[in-house]
Amino acid sequence: MFQPEIRNLCPAFSRRPVSPVYALDCLVEVKECDVIIIGCGLSGMTAAYEMLKLDPNIKLCLLEAKDRIGGRTLTNEINIGGGQREKFDLGGQWVASSQPDILEMLEELNIKTYPQFINGTKIMQVGHGNVIRTYKSDIPSLGSYWGIIELQLFIWKAEKLAKEISIEDPYSWDKAQEYDAMTMETFVRNNARSQSVRDTIQAACRSVIGADLDRVSALFFLAYANSAGGVMKLLMATENGAQELRVKGGTQQISEILADRVGRENVQLNQPVSAIYQDHTEFVTVHTLTGKIFRARHVITSIPPNCVTRIQFSPPLSEDRKLLMDNMPVGHLTKFIITYDKTYWRENGFSGEIVSNGGGPLLTCSTGPISVVYDATTDKNVPALVGFIAGRPGVEWHRQTTEERRSSILACLSEFFGSSALQPTSFTEKVWADEEYNGGCPVCFGVPGVMFTFKALRRPHGRIHWCGTETSTHWAGYLSGAVQSGRRAACEVMKLNGKNVTQLEKLVSRKPSADVDPLYSFPSLLTPIVVFLAVVTAFFAVYFF
């Protein structure tokens, strides 16, 4: 093993200002490799895998704070009653045909997908009075034609603006300052008057980002949507939409298989990185809370922005990156999976899809717990529903007990689907706010006023390179974004090592496809309304003239 001159790392022997944490490490053996990868979620594992493909001899050290691989992917076996168990995703779950990076990875690892079930009547609970409405077509039930028109106009406007914004540098947009000075709440209020439309967009923002509209920079949201190819892509479960496909066997296996390929001996679990030190040599030194020290020529970190602030850097991060990291909080999602002995909602003609403003106050919370629900029946036909307590309701419901959340969710579901909802075979929840080294999910988002620093997200800090889904330029925030960012970071480092990365760079530089789902392109959503108005006009014309 490489034995560096350990004395140089110790504050006692160095004139450099270093944190006290180094003092603990003076007599510790230092492990050396070519590249250290921090974080064994999908982006970190992808970076390692792609580097090894480019150079099978490269020596990698992968450091993960948790006792498991996978980060924001987590596939657990749930006891579904009758002595049976089934795998469910408690973290990231859906992929889409419009997400080439993750689809290529799945194909390479021979992991199959299957379509999200969407057939049947859907349910909406939005607007004043929290009225529950159903609809069969793709047109959401908002209680009035005006609501539908207003939602359509809002979507068109948001889509048009989003297309003008580059995720690489949102601040280069000529209206950037104006839109970064406002929250999404203001943007929605300026463009939608009806409560049902505002509630719909609120539910969408809660489930997509895990935060309410009033916390999110309008500029960030539009840039984020553009990285996926448009606002509607984030919301849909139809072709190309974010909720289109599910992964057989769950998504955590992607990182597990990558760990096998990278070599388990290179992966060190339970190693929370506490400090990263770049000295005058060509090495970067990484310290963990367990007192271990690692050295390499390059570091790739996949630590999510909200956790980066816990690491000590020497030299310190640039001011723009620091400001950004301090102002990219993570969303709040509690995910629940409920299994049943039959798909009673399908039998009653429901698809299982619910979009809700939460309904009226419940227990000590200002709304009920449900934001969004989908059918989660597995490819092995285990009947299940999946849902989220998201954004502010997520924060409020966090103070209730699991039993209170369980009984309230079941009670709400019974209002939508009838009393069969009260008879589950299992209830499982994952409160991501309690997950150490993530502290929330699904993604870190930008608050107003800091987007002028957003370019710093991908900019290397000396020999430290950044990946992680937040740094992606294609489906940022998603599994596909995690893969794309891992590939990009691998390119950056391997290029510096003189490797030919042309092929990989081509994949990384792909732009999101600009195709708009025909449903939301004129005139299809408005067609029934236009036809209705034409018939009424014709009727009056014939009647009066």
Ligand X SMILES: Cc1cc2nc3c(=O)[nH]c(=O)nc-3n(C[C@H](O)[C@H](O)[C@H](O)COP(=O)(O)OP(=O)(O)OC[C@H]3O[C@@H](n4cnc5c(N)ncnc54)[C@H](O)[C@@H]3O)c2cc1C
Is 78 or 176 the residue whose CB approaches ligand X more closely? Answer: 78
Q: In whole angstroms, how close is the CB of 298 to ligand X at the nearest point?
A: 16
The rounded distance, in Å, linking the Cα atoms of 223 and 375 is: 29
96 is in an annotated binding site: no
Backbone dihedral angles phi then psi of residue 3, each to the nearest 5 degrees? -115, 95
On whether the CB atoms of residues 307 and 43 are closer than 8 A, the answer is: no
Is 105 or 158 the residue whose CB approaches ligand X more closely? Answer: 105
470 is in an annotated binding site: yes
What is the pairing mode between strands 60-63 and 267-268? parallel
Is 9 or 386 the residue whose CB approaches ligand X more closely? Answer: 386
Number of neighbours of residue 308 by Cβ within 10 angstroms: 21
The rounded distance, in Å, linking the Cα atoms of 205 and 202 is: 5
User: 221 - beta bridge partners?
Assistant: none
Q: In whole angstroms, how close is the CB of 392 to ligand X at the nearest point?
A: 17
What is the pairing mode between strands 293-296 and 284-288? antiparallel
The rounded distance, in Å, linking the Cα atoms of 130 and 358 is: 8
Residue at token pair 């034995």: 3
Strands (E), 311-445: 312-314, 333-339, 350-356, 372-375, 384-390, 426-431
Alpha-carbon distances of 169 from 68, 166, 174, 220, 428, rounded to whole Å: 34, 5, 11, 11, 40
In the structure encoding, which two tokens stand for residue 33, read together? 């490799």
Is 66 or 122 the residue whose CB approaches ligand X more closely? Answer: 66
Backbone dihedral angles phi then psi of residue 208, each to the nearest 5 degrees? -80, -45
Q: What is the dihedral of CA 468, 474, 477, 478, to 10 degrees?
A: -100
The rounded distance, in Å, linking the Cα atoms of 485 and 458 is: 9
Could you tell me where the DSSP H helices lie in 275-315?
Answer: 305-308
Closest CA to 113 of 372, 354, 378, 338: 378
Could you tell me where the DSSP H helices lie in 238-349?
Answer: 252-262, 305-308, 319-326, 344-347
Backbone dihedral angles phi then psi of residue 80, each to the nearest 5 degrees? -100, 15
Q: In whole angstroms, how close is the CB of 132 to ligand X at the nearest point?
A: 25
Q: In whole angstroms, how close is the CB of 477 to ligand X at the nearest point?
A: 6
Is 161 or 441 the residue whose CB approaches ligand X more closely? Answer: 441
435 is in an annotated binding site: no
Q: What is the dihedral of CA 220, 146, 204, 322, to 10 degrees?
A: 20
The rounded distance, in Å, linking the Cα atoms of 38 and 252 is: 18
The rounded distance, in Å, linking the Cα atoms of 171 and 165 is: 8
Is 9 or 307 the residue whose CB approaches ligand X more closely? Answer: 307
Is 356 or 438 the residue whose CB approaches ligand X more closely? Answer: 438
Q: In whole angstroms, how close is the CB of 388 to ligand X at the nearest point?
A: 7
Residue at token pair 């009806």: 194
Is 18 or 267 the residue whose CB approaches ligand X more closely? Answer: 267
Is 96 or 218 the residue whose CB approaches ligand X more closely? Answer: 96
Is 92 or 140 the residue whose CB approaches ligand X more closely? Answer: 92
Is 80 or 102 the residue whose CB approaches ligand X more closely? Answer: 102
Q: In whole angstroms, how close is the CB of 267 to ligand X at the nearest point?
A: 11
Q: In whole angstroms, how close is the CB of 515 to ligand X at the nearest point?
A: 19
For residue 372, count CB atoms less than 10 angstroms from its CB and return exposed for 0-12, middle for 13-18, buried for 19 or more. buried
The rounded distance, in Å, linking the Cα atoms of 279 and 179 is: 40
Residues in contact with ligand X by the rule CB under 6 A? 38-44, 63-66, 71-73, 91-94, 272-273, 302-304, 307, 311, 333, 335, 432, 437-438, 441-442, 468-469, 477-480, 482
64 is in an annotated binding site: yes
What are the binding residues for FAD?
Answer: 43, 64-65, 273, 470
Which parts are annotated binding residues for substrate? 388
Binding site, annotated residues:
43, 64-65, 273, 388, 470
